[in-house]
Amino acid sequence: MPVKKRIAVAGGGAAGMMAAIAAAEAGAEVVLIERNEKTGKKIYITGKGRCNLTNSCPDEEFFSHVVSNPKFLYSAVYGFDSAAVRDFFEAAGCRLKEERGGRIFPVSDHASDVIKALNKRMDELHVGIRLNSIIRSVKKNGSFEIKLDGGEIIRADSLIVACGGKSYPSTGSDGSMFGMLESLGHSIREPVPALVPFHVAEKEECIAAQGLALKNVSLILKDEKKKLYEGFGEMLYTHFGLSGPLILTASSYYQKKRPKVAKLYIDLKPALTPEQLDARLLREFEENKNKDFSNVLGSILPGKLREVFPGRVAIPGDKKVNSITKEERKRVADTLKALEYHVTGCRAFEEAIITQGGVNVKEVDPSTMESRIVPGLYIAGEALDVDAHTGGYNLQIAWSTGHLAGISAAEEG
Ligand SMILES: Cc1cc2nc3c(=O)[nH]c(=O)nc-3n(C[C@H](O)[C@H](O)[C@H](O)COP(=O)(O)OP(=O)(O)OC[C@H]3O[C@@H](n4cnc5c(N)ncnc54)[C@H](O)[C@@H]3O)c2cc1C
């Protein structure tokens, strides 16, 4: 019997499990090493426990949702795209459904069913699983020597690193593998938290409006000179600043540039042109001539913003509407169309859905996921310097790069 190629997979998350399955399907003997007591710990908390495992958008559109290094992902995604991922999970017994915006979830709404399907497939393929095993160092002396906590050494012909980034370190992805990859000669683009809430200078205002969710607003993020991001959706006021899906997406573009000055402009009335908004204000003001300004705001703004808005436009809340000047009305309209916030930073990795940064993709062959620096070493998933919007795109990256790394490692040599 020909000797099977022995492949070690570091990390039992989405990318690592898919890599192990692909390598074993291609005939390799696979051992997967995971520090936690179980595989897929992060998958449990994805999609608020429901796991939005991919997105049904066409492959070409997929790349417009990737923030860092979309071109690097072409081979991986075209080779194992969303349709292939859906076929894989359905065949493994996890029935899927589609929701708004092409988001794909298990029919059961339980992320645990995604993990069960992966574990079942690994079991069928006799993937060896080493749980509670922290990798402390990696060396290459002909074969790979993977040293675990406690001193045991696992040897393998190839190694697939799928240890994730630094987000939600409580799930096991603490970035500890980056130092080991550096010791093998790789460079790491500084990992930073992304898809993460913002701190803003207007903190007091956010505290006053805490809990308020604004639906259907549009947002522009700018640095000193140019627009970094423009989007439409939902945002949320919190005790430290701003959050919600629209803000999380904006954070990925903020982190890409980390500008000294970053301003957010929220259009609270995106459906109205400035002229239509002025006409609306004029009508409101005429119908409520003898009321206080703050009372009229009730029909224009949601609850908690009403209290802070007079300060924003420097019009006393108790000023009678009939004495508001044309300039003041213009100020109200301009502020409703572009409520300004100054971004002072992002929340930490503990609250970040994704890590931006990671292994420099120039050092990885995009057609195989093999390291250009260490032959036989493959890298997959969030450990790479790739990240995408919310909507199932990040898990798709993990499945695609994991799958490609797995088949390449099994077939190489
Ligand atoms: C709250 C939250 C919700 C999310 N929701 C979604 C969603 O709905 N849809 C979506 O597409 N994406 C979502 N994401 C992003 C997605 O979960 C990740 O992009 C994806 O899980 C990355 O997979 P990975 O296998 O590359 O890394 P990880 O899932 O981070 O797996 C890495 C594994 O390696 C192990 N490991 C690390 N270092 C070592 C070591 N030294 N020794 C041994 N083992 C080690 C870790 O314990 C971990 O299990 C979400 C993320 C978070 C935090």
Q: What pTM, to 2 d.p., does this model score?
A: 0.96
Instruction: Tell how far the Cα of 6 is from the centroid of ligand 1, in angstroms.
Output: 24
Give pLDDT tens digits along the chain (413 positions): 677 899 999 999 999 999 999 999 999 999 999 999 999 999 999 999 999 999 999 998 999 999 999 999 999 999 999 999 999 999 999 999 999 999 999 999 999 999 999 999 999 999 999 999 999 999 999 999 999 999 999 999 999 999 999 999 999 999 999 999 999 999 999 999 999 999 999 999 999 999 999 999 999 999 999 999 999 999 999 999 999 999 999 999 999 999 999 999 999 999 999 999 999 999 999 999 999 999 999 889 988 898 899 999 999 999 999 999 999 999 999 999 999 999 999 999 999 999 999 999 999 999 999 999 999 999 999 999 999 999 999 999 999 999 999 999 999 76
* 67, 353, 397, 403: residue to mutate for ligand 1 pocket, most atoms within 8 A of CB: 353
| Domain regions of the chain by residue span | 6-193+354-411, 197-347
* 394, 399, 400, 403: residue to mutate for ligand 1 pocket, most atoms within 8 A of CB: 394
Per-residue pLDDT at 307: 87
So what CATH class is 6-193+354-411?
alpha beta
Contact, 319 vs 126, CB < 8 A?
Answer: no
Atom 22 of ligand 1: nearest residue by CA position: 382
Atom 35 of ligand 1: nearest residue by CA position: 11
Instruction: Tell how far the Cα of 14 is from the centroid of ligand 1, in angstroms.
Output: 7
Instruction: Tell how far the Cα of 151 is from the centroid of ligand 1, in angstroms.
Output: 26
Atom of ligand 1 nearest to the CA of 36: 47
Atom of ligand 1 nearest to the CA of 133: 43
Question: Tokens standing for 104?
Answer: 């794909």
Per-residue pLDDT at 413: 62
Atom 8 of ligand 1: nearest residue by CA position: 47
Instruction: Tell how far the Cα of 386 is from the centroid of ligand 1, in angstroms.
Output: 13
Atom of ligand 1 nearest to the CA of 387: 19
For the sheet with 103-106, list strands across it. 54-55, 103-106, 96-99
Instruction: Tell how far the Cα of 279 is from the centroid of ligand 1, in angstroms.
Output: 50
Query: For the structural domain made of 197-347, what CATH number should be given?
Result: 1.10.8
Pocket of ligand 1 from Cβ distances under 6 Å: 10-16, 33-36, 41-42, 45-47, 51-52, 134-135, 162-164, 167-168, 172-173, 176-177, 353-354, 381-382, 392-395, 398
Instruction: Tell how far the Cα of 78 is from the centroid of ligand 1, in angstroms.
Output: 22
Atom of ligand 1 nearest to the CA of 50: 8
Three-class DSSP labels, the chain: CCCCCEEEEECCCHHHHHHHHHHHHCCCEEEEECCCCCCCHHHHHHHHHCCCCEECCCHHHHHHHEEECCHHHHHHHHHCCHHHHHHHHHHCCCCEEEEHHHEEEECCCCHHHHHHHHHHHHHHCCCEEECCCCEEEEEEECEEEEEECCCCEEEECEEEECCCCCCCHHHCCCCHHHHHHHHCCCCEEEEEEECCCEEECCHHHHHHCCCCEEEEEEEEEECCCCEEEEEEEEEEECCCEEECHHHHHHHHHHHHHCCCCCEEEEECCCCCCHHHHHHHHHHHHHHCCCCEHHHHHHHCCCHHHHHHHHHHHCCCCCCEHHHCCHHHHHHHHHHHHCEEEEEEEECCHHHCCEEEEEECHHHECCCCCEECCCCCEEECHHHECCEECCCCHHHHHHHHHHHHHHHHHHHCC
Atom 6 of ligand 1: nearest residue by CA position: 46
Sign of CA dihedral 13, 19, 22, 27: negative
